Amino acid sequence: MQILDGLLIVLMTICLFTDLKSRKIYNHVLLPSLLLALIFQFFTNGWIGLTSSLLGLVVGFAILLIPYMMRGMGAGDVKLMAVIGAIQGPVFILTTAVYMAIIGGVVALLLILFRLVKSKQWLALFYRNSLMTYGMKLTVVRNHSSSQTLPYGVAIVGGALCTMISQGVIRL
């Protein structure tokens, strides 16, 4: 395991904990990680390393920018993706995005199903043909109170871990 892999694991551990606990990913965790990644990439790989790191930063940021602008997630999630991209580069962050989308979809589906069962709306769905005829509004996803939002840092960290496993960085 390389130094940047260790930095990524520490960053993801802290961000996962804070996102689950308070639904926040803090700048005072992200910014030092970003600076360390840029400095380390430059001093170990020169301009090519710095360019790769900056490209990963831009790609990571761009992946979640539109969902953020549509109020689908918080700024901390966008910045976490950007910093992960800066640490590991553009190929890593693109692979992470695929795993993140799968994990995020599964977690969101489970959250919706859990809330349907908890609110007993599933009984109404059982007697209707579809969600559209029932007219169900997915307020469980759109409500932005901290108890109703999906801590998307879980999906981001899960996606990055899956990428690390698939690349052989972490062995099970």
Is 49 part of a structural domain of the chain? yes
Q: What is the pTM of this model?
A: 0.83
| Domain range enclosing 162 | 3-166
Distance (Å) of CA 125 to CA 107, 128, 131, 137: 20, 5, 7, 12
Structure tokens at 75: 């700024």
Mean pLDDT over all residues of the chain? 86
Please report the pLDDT score of residue 128 as a whole number: 54
- The percentage of the chain sitting over the pLDDT mark of 90, rounded to a whole number, equals 69
> At 172, is the pLDDT very low, low, confident or very high (cuts 50, 70, 90)?
confident
- Could you tell me if 164 and 13 are in contact, meaning their C-beta atoms sit under 8 angstroms apart? no
Residue 74 pLDDT more than 70? Answer: yes
Please report the pLDDT score of residue 52 as a whole number: 97
Lowest mean per-residue pLDDT among 10-14, 34-38, 165-169:
165-169
pLDDT in tens, 117-157: 777 665 565 555 444 444 444 444 444 445 556 789 999 99
Is 171 part of a structural domain of the chain? no
Structure tokens at 107: 């977690």
* Residue 6 CA neighbour count, 13 Å, CB half: 5
Estimate to the nearest angstrom the gap between the alpha carbon of 21 and the chain centroid.
15
The number of distinct structural domains making up the chain is 1
Is 94 part of a structural domain of the chain? yes
Give the C-alpha separation, 152 to 150, whole Å.
Answer: 6
Is 32 part of a structural domain of the chain? yes
Is 24 part of a structural domain of the chain? yes
Is 78 part of a structural domain of the chain? yes
> At 113, is the pLDDT very low, low, confident or very high (cuts 50, 70, 90)?
confident
Is 118 part of a structural domain of the chain? yes
Is 172 part of a structural domain of the chain? no
Please report the pLDDT score of residue 96 as a whole number: 98
